[in-house]
Each structure stands twice: as structure tokens, then as C-alpha cells.
Structure 1
């Protein structure tokens, strides 16, 4: 009876905390206020249940300390978007893109480009803050609504988190399940191929409406870029370096550091920038200065300062999750969700549900990986189902739906990069919707008789 009461209290606490976050979105106030309210309430509840306040404060500081590298990476993402603008890399890609994309189905082509690049980079947010910025400028220059463009970019970029061997999430999956990349890749390809084909087809159909753009405007944009920047194919050395370092598996902080350094040098050599201008761009952002006021609106980035709000929200999300784990709030709820599993189809579906709910509730994909694995690993072995199926199901559900949630860490980071919220781009991030559906459908086809 006491356990049942505790589980009920846990559910109520999680719902209230999520209500604080959603309330912040509805009232258009910074999300970190919602997380702060949730943290205060959770601490109060845990103290009432016998946890020491000093111990909980220590948990909070430990949680923040453990994500110090993530905070540094987030700041570098803000710096990278600015340096790609200031150095002329983004304008150069747009300059050539406006020529090569004439008459081409941009949404279809850009989606395939993002899928390919994200696989090699191994980071969805890294892909969004580099190649994504350039493709976003081209797409909006072609007259495609920003929400459609960003939704497409998110779909392509998050293939990295789903299956790239360089992804931290995939490596976490391999560690928790004890499976090799070769094992999980063979299993994941079963749902990956139809997911990409369906998403590409959707973007091809949507893109047909935008293949006859205003080419006179594109010519004006090209002329404005030529006047405002010194464009050169040599500037593409920066994307090549970033991609090469990512493929080599170099640490993200080192990769971004080198990227910012090379970008600064290119800014001096090609755009005549000085050290002060570069530092100001990195810290406070960059604004385009071409003859076209309309184009200048596309050439904007917020720099490191623009990422501070995102950092506060990330800290809030991580601290709240750590407090949930400290108080053993999540595990009892999750265990109730896995009762009554006796078939492989039910097991796969329940895995997807569990991983998705954890990603939604905890604002992060990590809990959606670790807890389902911890709870369901024995059940997979009991029903003689390969643990590679567990990794595939989690990557198809809990990992891939993350950017759809306005309160998710990934959404926090996309907003300052792309300038719009998850609520605006989510309806067009079709791959993130399709993937869970394909996963459930394939589970029925593969295991319905087992």
C-alpha cells in the first residue's frame, strides 16, 4: 500500500513539474523559470520525505559540474554560427547555392545533404549550427517559409543522434546494452531505410511548390553578397575541416575550437576583419551588412551571449532529472509501465512508449536510453529477443522525438541557432514523426507470430 501511494505521489510530482514547464511556454516566459519552480518543489517534497537538504544541494552542484563540457560546447555553438557568418563561409555557400539550386527541388536535396553530413558529423546540433545555417539561408532566399526549412533540417540532422557511429547517444546505447555498432547497425537499417525514403518523398512533394522561385530576387541576393563579402571557394575549407575532424572522432570542444580559430583567420584574410571585430562577433553575434536589407535578415547570429538562456534551461533540465533520480521518482513509475509484457510485439511497443515518455518528461534523451535499458534488458533476454532490437527501438522513439518538444534540451539549442521555436518547426520535422510509426509497424510485421 505504501509503495502504491509513493508511486502515485511520484506521478503527481512529475505532472506538476511538467505543468510548470508547459505553463512557462503558454505564458511566454523563459523556460528556466518553469524548471526552477520544478526544482524548488522537488527539493521540498524530497526534504519532507527524509532527504537531507545539504545532500540535495550537493546533488544540484554535482549535476551542474558534470555538464561543464556540455556548457562549453553550447557556447562554442554560438561562436561557430557567428564565425561562419563573419568569415564569409555562409554567404559563400549561399552565393553558390542560389545558382545551383535554381530549378532544383530544394527541400528534397537539402534533406539528403543534411542526412549525409549528420551521419559523418555525429551531432545533430553541430550539423544544424554549421551546414544547417547555410542551407537555411538558401532555402529562405528561395522563398520557402522558415518553419518548413527548419523542420526539414531538423529531420535530416537528427539522423546523427539516431544512428551515427560518432554520436554520443549511440555510444551510450552500445555501452548500456553491450552490443557492437555492427550489431545495432544491421538491426537499425530495417527501420532507417523506409523512414528516410518516406521522409524524402514527403519533402519532395512539399518541395514541388517551391521549385519555381523568384530568380530575379536570387540574382539580387547574389549581387548583394558579392558586394558585401569576398566570396571564394577557398572559404569552403572551414566546412571541410569541421567535417574531417568530426569523422576522425575528435572531441567536440577541440573540433569547435579549431573551427572558430580557422574561421577567425579566414575572416581576417578574406573579409579584412580585425581582432576586435571578430571577438565582438563571437561574443555578441553577427549582423549582415550587404546592400540588401532583406538578405541581411538572413545573415544574423547571436553569438555566445545568445546561448546563455539555452544554458540556463539545460542546467534546469539536468538538475531536475538528477533530483528525480536521487529521489527514485522515475523508476517505480517505469516499472509499473512494463507489467504484463508477454509477447515480443508488446515488448517492442512498450519499449518505445517508455523511452518516449522519459524523453518527454525529463527533457533529455539520456534518461530515455538508460532507464528503459535497465528495466527491460532482462525481459528481452527472457523472450529471446536480441538486445540490438532494444537499441533500435529506443533510437527510433525516445531519441528521435526529442526536438519536437519545446521544453527539450535539443529545442533549447535549436532556437538561438535557427531563430524559431519547436512549436513553429515541429509540424514540418516529418522524419521525427514517421520514425516511431515505422518502428511500431515493423515490430508488428516481424514479431506478430512470436
Structure 2
């Protein structure tokens, strides 16, 4: 059963109206809003003849595809809890406060996260480890956390887009039939301008914090409180170094995080004198011991599996929202329209960019969109004499880079929960994530940065 074009468009419009109206206009909880939108789509799909069996099958398949991400979410919660209890994150915060000039904190944050993400090939690993520690430093220096979250996101996803170790950097060219090195080089056109603009922004924002550390009583209070509550032995830096090393050598993420969790637990027992019950409690509920200093408690009272359960519920509700659209054939209908209407290379490229951006916004998962429409769109680039690396770049510009800005998406939910800053608060301060799309459109219509192949048939 396949819906007509107008019914497919109606489903899209209604679902977006419910989601955007609920979240932005009414301020309703995202999880419930997504489920409501899903119910609307399911109801209309059933009325129009889509079988419940098909909807249920796609829903289960979508949730199944999210399972690795859910497991990583839970692992990150335990990792943060273990590293707080062991004193690893407090150690990084301590030395960050001692050594970093507030004027350059934001740009240093972006550069450090960029380096780690390029070396390790993972935005999630960067955000869940170094990112959490830098958020603590930000609080201590009195720098707005949404500024810092933006810098962390830019750095983490700069590396995620360009690292040859990143799963998305590997997947996009694979789905488009492009060599990995060609893909990475071509992405520099849309990634570097937005990245440089972001760094300039952080430099400008940082000027207002010049000399702040010299006059900050908070910094001295935080330093003394951390020293009193944790044994800040330099050996505590071993867990993040171990995780970084293992990820660099392409070891699977979950086992690597498991090693980091175990290392943190062992160090908590050895250096902080914690018993097994306290360790298990931190893994489940996060670090909960109060220092009676509010700003320090805000830094250290974090982590645990329980802190991620709301995000897991959000991902499941996103599946309830997105999978019925797949069941109703909305994706295929839109693809068919692009194939039928694209009369020039520019029209085809801009339509493909818009389609992938819309579908990614709905699903929030590049694993779904890359695999579903990547191979289907690729031959259209051949038809117009355009190199397929233009398409693989577009997928990353409207997928990988956009991922942290979709609140109900797998990555967006992870970022917001881990950094404890909502998407709406930090997105303006992460310009690289959306400027790539703007530069992509400029290149499409100007022809700059667009690679052609022999036998070009049109513009």
C-alpha cells in the first residue's frame, strides 16, 4: 500500500505542526509531543489503509536500530558517575581552573575538543569525557555554560566530520560510492569556513572575561573545596587517557567505555577510599555526596544510569514519531518526486539537500537517512555529470553537523543530557553546525566548490 503524494505531504505537515507547535509554542514536554505526533500519523495511516502490522514492524526495527546508541547513553552515564567518584573529572576541573586564562577558554575548549575528536573519531566520546570536565571549568570561571556547550559541540563535530576514524565519515562516502580521502578533502569546503567563524566568535566572546580569574572568589572556593573532598592525585588522569588510546586504535566504543568505567571504579576505591556499595550507587545514581558549596555541587553531582533514562524515553518517542512516516511510504514518495522533477544539476542538488535535511530532522538518525536515501540519490549525480562526493558532503552537512541541533534525535538528546544545556540555549553559539548548509547552498548556486566529472549534462 502506497499513499498518494498529497496524503504524504499532509502527513509531513501535520507531524511537523504538532511537534513544532507543541515544543516551541505550547512548551509541552518533547517526549509527549513526539508521541502525540506519532499517534496522529499512525491514526491517519491506518485510516488510509496502511496495516498495523507494517507500522509495528517498522517501529520495532527503528527502536532496534537505536539500541547501540541507547547502550552507549547508559554507558556514558555510568562513566561520568565513576569518573566523578574517582576524582578524575574533579582533577581535570581543578587543573583547568588553575591553568586556563578565561579570555581564551572558549577557543581552547573548541580546539581541545577538535583535537580529541579528530584523533579518536568520536563526538560522543569527546563530549562525554573532556566535554563534561570543561563544563565544570566553565562554571568555575563564571563563563555562561551555553557558550561552552556551543564550543564543545563545534569542536566535537568538527572532528567527527573530518576524522577518518569516525563512523559517519566512513558511512557517508560508502553509501555514495566515494573514496574516503576524496570525501574528507571535499568536506573542507563547507566545514572550514563555519569552523573559523566559530573560533572568531569564541575569541570575541572571551574578551569579556579577561582577568576574571584574578578577581574570582568562586575559583578559590572551588579549588579549596575540590582539594578537601577529593584526593587529586595526577594518576587519576589515567582513565581518560586509556579511553582515548583505545578509541584511537579503533576499538569498539562500548567495550572502551567499559574499560573506562572499570578504571574509574578501581581508582575510586584506591584513591578516594570508596567501598563497593558507594561505587555501585554512583554508577546507578551518579555522584551524590554534597560538599555544601552550591557551585561545586553543580559541577560534581552528575552521572549515573538514572540520569540518562529520560533521554532513552525521548529516543523511543522519536521512533514512535518517525517510523510511521516510513511505513506510509512518505520517504519513497518524496524521493520519486525529486527524480521526476529535477531538470538541472543545481535543482537536483538543492532538492537532495532539502530532502535529506527534512528526513534527518524527522528521524534524527544519520544511520537511517544515509542508508535509506544515500544509494538512491547517488545515481542522480552521475546523470548530471556531478561527482558523487558532492552528495556525500551534503549528507554530512545535513546529517552529522546538524545532529546536535535536533532535540529528539539520538545525538541531540545525548548532547543536551550530557552537557545539561538545552539545544535552544547553545545552538546560536555552535555556528559551524548550521553554517555548513548555508555554504553548501552558496556553492550549489555559484558552482564554486562543486566537482564535475566528464560528460556533464547540465547546470
Residue by residue, what CA displacement relative to the aligned partner does 1:272-309 show, whole Å, maximum 9, x if unpaired? 11111111111112235436332221222141112112
Matched ranges for 1:213-292 at <5 A: 213-215=212-214, 216-217=216-217, 218-287=219-288, 289-290=290-291, 292=293
Task: Give, in whole Å, the separation in 2 of the partners of 1:15 and 1:366.
Answer: 24
Aligned length: 448
Matched, 1:170 2:169: yes
Distance 1:141 1:230 in 2: 19
Distance 1:53 1:434, change over 3 A: closer
Q: Which residue of 2 aligns with 1:135?
A: 134
1:82, distance to aligned residue in structure 2 (A): 1.5
Assess if the C-alpha contact under 8 Å between 1:79 and 1:260 holds in 2.
yes
Corresponding residue SS for 1:330: helix
Contact 2:91–2:232 (Cα < 8 Å) also in 1:
yes
Identify the residue that residue 454 of structure 2 maps to in structure 1.
none
- 1:183 is aligned to 182
CA contact (8 A) 2:285 2:306 kept: yes
* Maintained 8 Å contact 2:127/2:418: yes
1:134-167: CA deviation from partner (whole Å, max 9, x where unpaired): 1111122111111111111111112244232232
Superposition CA RMSD, Å = 2.4
What do residues 237-274 of structure 1 show as CA deviations (whole Å, max 9, x unaligned)? 11111111111111111111111111111111111111
Q: Which residue of 2 aligns with 1:435?
A: 436
The equivalent of 1:122 in structure 2 is 121
- Tell me what 1:106 maps to: 105
**Greater than 6 Å deviation, 4+ residue runs:** none
Contact 2:154–2:195 (Cα < 8 Å) also in 1 = no
Structure 1 63/408 Cα, relative in aligned 2: closer, same or farther at 3 Å?
closer
What is residue 420 of structure 1 aligned with on the other side? 421
Q: Is the 8 A contact 2:191 2:432 kept in 1?
A: no
Q: Does 1:355 align with 2:356?
A: yes
The equivalent of 1:22 in structure 2 is: 20
Who is 2:56 aligned against? 57
**Greater mean alpha carbon deviation, residues 184-193 or residues 76-85:** 184-193
What does residue 455 of structure 2 align with?
none
Q: CA deviation at 1:403?
A: 1.8
Q: Structure 1: any 5+ residue segments left out of the alignment? A: none
Cα deviation for residue 132 of structure 1 reads 0.2
Scaled by the length of structure 2, the TM-score of the pair is 0.90
Please tell me whether the aligned partners of residues 122 and 166 of structure 1 are also in contact (alpha carbons under 8 angstroms): yes
Give, in whole Å, the separation in 1 of the partners of 2:419 and 2:23.
Answer: 18
Contact 1:358 1:367 in 2 (8 A): no
CA distance in 2, matches of 1:68, 1:57: 17
Structure 2 unmatched runs, 5+: 452-457
Bigger Cα displacement from structure 2, 8-17 vs 225-234: 8-17
1:159 match: 158
